[in-house]
Amino acid sequence: MTSLIEEIRQKVADEKFEFSKHAVDQSILRQVQVQEIKEVIANGQVIEDYPNDKYGPSCLISGLTQTRRPIHVQCSYPSRSLVRIITLYQPDPQKWDEDFTQRRNRGDDS
């Protein structure tokens, strides 16, 4: 059985993905190119899983672009005909560990 990330990678490689309006807005605002999103998904790992998300099951992928830029991409599970890119951002080093895969537990952050 293939893993969640493998199935997402295959759909993205096959151009079977779409962007939410929010993700389009964020990619423009944060100057993230479609190619960078593909690179992150191709090389990244699932760091958080949201099987019970109110908008449908999704997960958070952390990875680096070819220029070593860290990006987080939240996308739907590959059970849909198109993987939906929900949001994306460059993780804040104050909120994430040095490889951007674990949230820092901060007392003021509840």
Average pLDDT of span 51-70: 96
Q: Which of 32, 22, 9 is nearest to 83 (CA)?
A: 9
Give the pair of three-digit tokens for residue 39. Answer: 């690179």
What is the predicted pLDDT for the residue at 105? 80
Give the pair of three-digit tokens for residue 95. Answer: 């909120």
The pTM of the whole model exceeds 0.75:
yes
What is the predicted pLDDT for the residue at 38? 97
Higher pLDDT, 92 or 106: 92
Average pLDDT of span 8-32: 97
pLDDT band at 11 (very low <50, low <70, confident <90, very high): very high
The SS3 of residue 88 is strand
Q: Is residue 24 over pLDDT 50? A: yes
With beta carbons less than 8 A apart as the criterion, state whether 91 and 101 touch.
no
